[in-house]
Amino acid sequence: MLVETSMAAPGFCYNFSKLSAFFELPVIELAPSILSADFARLAEEVHAALEGGGTLLHVDVMDGHFVPNITIGPPVVKSLRQVTEVPLDCHLMIENPDEFIPAFAEAGADWISVHQEACVHLKRTLQHIRDHGCKAGVVINPATPVQTLGEVLDMIDYVLVMSVNPGFGGQKFIPGAAEKIRKLATMRTAKGLNYRIEVDGGISLETVGEVVRAGAEILVAGNAVFGRGQARKHTQELLKAAKEAALVKV
């Protein structure tokens, strides 16, 4: 992949595939969040974002109790599974997630994440996700310290850092999230683990560089991808900015 960037001389292009191999750059992925898509044209919107470079789809599940909004459930996940083969990243912003994990797994979820704040027995819940054949992730809200995850980091596939208070799309990025990402990256190195770091909330051209330089590898973006139409174009722009930020980090 060749991308021209303002960090170099005019007309110079970075070959990201060769640089990634040489510098061992992190694999940066964009996860378009369907929460901001036009549900009357959902399949079309999803395909446009994936054509732009999205490699998984983020599905925000809200119950109106854990967060002040109600969104979607397993039937929508099942419908998505019929129109795409990319991983479906289901973010459960719900109470009693253990009760619903089997239904989401059966519907076609590949990744399932639960909130640290919603789980009484977090290790049991994460194992429940794995037992259903899905990658297991844990989510922390803006007010939750990363240290609360110390006892489960060795059994998860990814950590999702909320950079807004969950419940609604289109919110502004909370700057403190970048420091949480840095701490999680440091903890991963110190413990010799390989979980990935995902970030969700207020990700845009203005904020994507900060979170990538902090250590985020999976970028959830809803409004920035779908909010103004042209999902393919906006996905490409976000990925380009993210990969350039990864080079700066090196």
Q: Which two tokens stand for residue 120?
A: 């009484």
Active site residue 38: no
In angstroms, rounded to a whole number, what is the distance separating the alpha carbons of residues 248 and 117? 34
Active site residue 63: no
In angstroms, rounded to a whole number, what is the distance separating the alpha carbons of residues 19 and 12? 14
How many alpha carbons lie under 13 Å from residue 109 in its C-beta half-sphere? 30
Strand order in the sheet with 196-200: 29-32, 218-221, 196-200, 158-162, 135-140, 111-115, 88-93, 57-62
In angstroms, rounded to a whole number, what is the distance separating the alpha carbons of residues 197 and 137? 10
In angstroms, rounded to a whole number, what is the distance separating the alpha carbons of residues 116 and 138? 6
Q: Which of 89, 110, 157, 200 is catalytic?
A: 200
Q: Which of 60, 63, 110, 157 is catalytic?
A: 60
Q: Which residues are catalytic?
A: 60, 200
